């Protein structure tokens, strides 16, 4: 019999976690060994339990999935992370993959997608929901030059929070960095994205589907 795949679930909604646990444990050979409700907790528990695969939501209060992913992968190069997200968007998927995720699965996709992703990632392969894979391919083919693809994971998080209307002080608290650092990122973002006002920043985020218009 093949080895059991030990999974850590990370989502800030308990109902979502219990649904995911049921879904995964109905599949032979998958065992959910630990759950976390934040990026901070995920980072701490990963080191204590060293699961085979992490299934993590991208949008959570506090550190968030993208930053937790970046920190886990930076410290544990063997980490195999599946990002399970409500964002069916090439920009989010590209950011997750460039930050070290092995798979990106949309929450609206087929239930089998997540099980398949966990199995593929556990043996060192990558996985993308078919809809997401198609969007990334189409974006590349159409030459849609999305400037947010040039951003690092941390820059992307600051950009997203600014676009959602959070102030510098609030972002500093959410990401646990100084207000001065957030202000520096804000200046850098304006240069990198070629924007000069908060309104332009919001328009850019809406145009590339990162926030609702």
Per residue in 94-143, pLDDT tens?
888 888 999 999 887 777 889 999 999 999 999 988 777 777 766 655 55
Model pLDDT, residue 1:
38
Q: The pTM is what?
A: 0.74
- List, as one string, the DSSP characters of the chain: -PPPEEEEEE-S-HHHHHHHHHHHHTSTTEEEEEEESSHHHHHHHHHHH--SEEEE-S--STTHHHHHHHHHHHH-TT--EEEEES---HHHHHHHHHTT-SEEEETTS-HHHHHHHHHHHHTT--EE-HHHHHHHHHHHHHT---GGGGS-HHHHHHHHHHHTT--HHHHHHHHT--HHHHHHHHHHHHHHHT--SHHHHHHHHHHTTSS--
Burial class (CB in 10 A: 0-12, 13-18, 19+), 145: exposed
Question: Model confidence at 148, in pLDDT bands (50, 70, 90)?
Answer: confident
For 96, half-sphere exposure in the C-beta direction (CA atoms, 13 angstrom radius) is 32
Full set of structural domains in the chain with CATH: 5-141 (3.40.50.2300), 147-207 (1.10.10.10)
């Amino acid at each position: 019999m093949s080895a059991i795949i030990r999974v850590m679930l990370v989502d800030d909604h308990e109902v979502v976690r219990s649904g995911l646990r049921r879904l995964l444990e109905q599949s032979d050979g998958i065992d959910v060994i630990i759950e976390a409700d934040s990026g901070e907790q995920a980072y701490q528990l990963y080191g204590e339990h060293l699961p085979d695969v992490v299934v993590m939501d991208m949008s959570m209060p506090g550190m968030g999935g993208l930053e937790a992913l970046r920190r886990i992968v930076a410290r544990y190069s063997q980490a195999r992370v599946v990002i399970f997200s409500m964002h069916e968007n090439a920009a989010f998927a590209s950011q997750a993959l460039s930050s070290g995720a092995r798979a990106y699965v949309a929450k609206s996709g087929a239930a089998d997608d997540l099980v398949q992703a966990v199995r593929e990632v556990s043996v060192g392969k990558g996985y993308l929901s078919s809809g997401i894979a198609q969007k990334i391919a189409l974006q590349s083919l159409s030459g849609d030059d999305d400037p947010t693809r040039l951003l690092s994971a941390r820059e992307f998080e600051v950009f997203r929070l600014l676009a959602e209307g959070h102030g510098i002080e609030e972002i500093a608290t959410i990401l646990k960095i100084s207000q001065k650092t957030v202000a520096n990122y804000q200046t850098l973002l304006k240069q990198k994205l070629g924007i000069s006002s908060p309104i332009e920043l919001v328009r850019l985020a809406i145009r590339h589907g990162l926030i609702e218009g």
